[in-house]
Structure 1
Amino acid sequence: MWLYLVALVGLWTLLRLFRERQVVSHLQDKYVFITGCDSGFGNLLARQLDRRGMRVLAACLTEKGAEELKSKTSARLETVILDVTKTESVVAATQWVKERVGNRGLWGLVNNAGISIPSAPNEWLNKQDFAKVLDVNLLGMIEVTLNMLPSVRKARGRVVNVSSVMGRVSFFGGGYCISKYGVEAFSDSLRRELSYFGVKVAIIEPGGFKTGVTSSDRLLPAVKMLWDRPSSEVRDLYGEKFLLSYLTNLNLLDQICSEDLSLVTDCMEHALTSCHPRTRYSAGWDAKLLYLPMSYLPTFLTDAIFYWMSVKPAKAL
């Protein structure tokens, strides 16, 4: 009995490996549009796909980011300035893409642009703090997708949305985790709708990686600044010990983050180039072995783990 089960699992694994190694043909003729290419995952993916011979259309927020990227890539790669929070910028970028892809359509759309600040305990924030993050990570992603969909559908291509393990388990307050939960929901509904047209939608769920979005060098000063915003009554309720513990936990999370961003960009590349891409990609050992399993635990166990983490003795940072 057990022998048959092992053989069945082994056969299924081999079949899966065979399917996932099948690559789409004529990659050199396919266009991929990537948002958030100034740094981090988007920047590395743009260079990675360019080396593979694909036609990369890289959207950067700043001229400086665009120039630095072009200096490291071939003449095939083209850049455009895009602010995903501004409709006129999204419309202009969409027209720019249409002029380049023509009747071939857009093979790949990678929604990578994102921010994490402001993030802090929810009671320290206001509506505008939440809106600032949601406007980039969720609403901006949705607007870019809706504008690019006709070109993607024409190519029967791919949409790759960058979520996070924090779209499964909320680590801290603010708009970041909320936005990533939204990315998961939008991607699921989009995948089911677009399957009718032969378009595939993949979700990338990275664990902890050292990027500008999650760096403690940016998060910790931002939290310290927000500490002065609540009323003195609220600050007294939380106390200095809570603040130090909160900062310590953020710092510890940053210390265990991986510096190998290729673990994420390899997943993105597979989603764009494989004949049979996965629906979800978990990037990083922490995502696979800790955070995603934690998301399937009973709620009271997950809460207990987070409570245990939050009451560790804090050190001054």
Structure 2
Amino acid sequence: MFFYILLFLSISSLWWYWKARDGRKVANLTGKYIFITGCDTGFGNMAAKTFDKKGFRVLASCLTETGAKELQAATSNQLQTVLLDVRDSNSIKKAAAWIKAEVQSEGLWGLVNNAGIMGPTAPTDWLDIEHFREPIEVNLIGLINVTINMLPLIKQAKGRIVNVSSTGGRLAFCGGGYCPSKFGIEGFNDSLRRDMKAFGVKVSCIQPGLFKTPLTDLAKIRKEKEIIWNRLSLDTKKQYGEEYFQKDAAKKEKLSKACLNTDVSLVVECMEHALTSLHPRTHYVVGQDAKWFWTPLSRMPADVQDFLLLRNREKPAVSHRK
């Protein structure tokens, strides 16, 4: 009995120590510069508004002029926007030069690599290389390119880098370029974190589950997939069966709706912790679906993963003929 009491007290002490350590904040962050990519909508848009209210000097990149104007109208005069296409190296270099002129000798305290797209999600044999190229260019190559250009300013401030990945970087739940791009982010994030330790720069990765943002617009995803389906050869359609598209789309949408998180602020809270905590976590798993389904499933044997994921897909016609 004494052993169990001692074990309970030890675990309780460790838990309280972790909570106290986790809650400690960096002092004097008001007025520090933070650069956030992908602020037109979604996580980035809310993060820019939130950090502006908290007194950070937010430098927010938007892809469109409309997005930039709407964000400026909803925030203080301290927040500044810049147009940035992360697929374009010249655009990144111009943004980096502008940021360098803004922060001057202070450096850049925070970089939040948030910009990303879903791209078409469909079975691999429906796709061509261009379907893979765009999400990988935006989500992975663009993120790396932005980071490389901002690193001197981050090192100068001994600041923070926050990379937004996905549970799709732990478990490939769909075909297309999205999951490969997120798996790539995980690899880049880990190597970057180790490279930057000597310079006092801390690197964190956020792994959201499915959240209600323009990225997860089910109608848009279904339309993109339908366009690809309609362009398939007759042989491929015969392999899958004429009813495959409709039945599979219905199953995927049912699963997505069951997993969908609506409170986007949960992701922004993780960004804030990564930017302000004395001891930021290396990884943040966000969303009930991520915590209780996708992340645990990613640690299970491949046979278990395949069984559970394939249950939520329509079987091609060829599998019925075996």
TM-score (norm 1): 0.96
Displacement after TM superposition at 1:218 (Å): 1.1
The answer to whether the Cα contact below 8 Å between 1:220 and 1:250 also exists between their aligned partners in 2 is no
Residue 290 (structure 1) aligns with: 293
Alignment of 1:27 with 2:24, yes or no, is no
The answer to whether the Cα contact below 8 Å between 1:62 and 1:81 also exists between their aligned partners in 2 is yes
Alignment of 1:305 with 2:308, yes or no, is yes
Q: How does 1:1-150 map to 2 (within 5 A)?
A: 1-150=3-152
Q: How does 1:124-203 map to 2 (within 5 A)?
A: 124-203=126-205
The answer to whether the Cα contact below 8 Å between 1:208 and 1:253 also exists between their aligned partners in 2 is no
> Which residue identity is paired with 1:109?
L
Alignment of 1:276 with 2:306, yes or no, is no
Q: 5+ unaligned residues in a row in structure 1: which ranges?
A: 313-317
Single out whichever of 259-268 and 22-31 deviates more from structure 2: 22-31
Displacement after TM superposition at 1:37 (Å): 0.0
Alpha-carbon distance in 1 for matches of 2:123, 2:256: 18
Single out whichever of 175-184 and 119-128 deviates more from structure 2: 119-128
Alpha-carbon distance in 2 for matches of 1:155, 1:229: 51
Deviation per residue, 1:11-40 (Å, 9 max, x gap)? 111111111111111111211000000000
Alpha-carbon distance in 1 for matches of 2:12, 2:242: 54
Displacement after TM superposition at 1:246 (Å): 2.3
Alpha-carbon distance in 2 for matches of 1:45, 1:101: 20
The answer to whether the Cα contact below 8 Å between 1:216 and 1:250 also exists between their aligned partners in 2 is no
Alpha-carbon distance in 1 for matches of 2:59, 2:87: 19
Alpha-carbon distance in 2 for matches of 1:311, 1:131: 26
Q: 5+ unaligned residues in a row in structure 2: which ranges?
A: 316-322
Residue 240 (structure 2) aligns with: 238
Alignment of 1:267 with 2:270, yes or no, is yes
Alpha-carbon distance in 1 for matches of 2:229, 2:244: 11
Displacement after TM superposition at 1:254 (Å): 3.3
TM-score (norm 2): 0.95
Residue 247 (structure 1) aligns with: 249
**Percent identity of the aligned residues?**
46
> Which residue identity is paired with 1:87?
S
The answer to whether the Cα contact below 8 Å between 2:166 and 2:182 also exists between their aligned partners in 1 is yes
The answer to whether the Cα contact below 8 Å between 1:107 and 1:157 also exists between their aligned partners in 2 is yes
> Which residue identity is paired with 1:279?
T
Deviation per residue, 1:239-262 (Å, 9 max, x gap)? 133212321133123323111100
> Which residue identity is paired with 1:89?
S
The answer to whether the Cα contact below 8 Å between 2:255 and 2:312 also exists between their aligned partners in 1 is no
Partner secondary structure for residue 151 of structure 1: helix
Alpha-carbon distance in 1 for matches of 2:86, 2:241: 38
In the comparison of the two structures, how many residue pairs are matched?
Answer: 312
Deviation per residue, 1:118-174 (Å, 9 max, x gap)? 221111110111011100000000000000000001000011000000111111100
Residue 315 (structure 1) aligns with: none
Deviation per residue, 1:44-101 (Å, 9 max, x gap)? 0001111111110000000100010011111110000000000110000000110111
The answer to whether the Cα contact below 8 Å between 2:84 and 2:91 also exists between their aligned partners in 1 is yes
Displacement after TM superposition at 1:311 (Å): 4.3
Single out whichever of 15-24 and 248-257 deviates more from structure 2: 248-257
Off by >6 Å, runs of 4+ in structure 1: none
> Which residue identity is paired with 1:77?
L
Partner secondary structure for residue 112 of structure 2: strand
Partner secondary structure for residue 308 of structure 2: helix
Alpha-carbon distance in 2 for matches of 1:43, 1:240: 41
Alpha-carbon distance in 2 for matches of 1:192, 1:143: 18
The answer to whether the Cα contact below 8 Å between 1:107 and 1:158 also exists between their aligned partners in 2 is yes
Partner secondary structure for residue 242 of structure 2: helix
Displacement after TM superposition at 1:105 (Å): 0.6
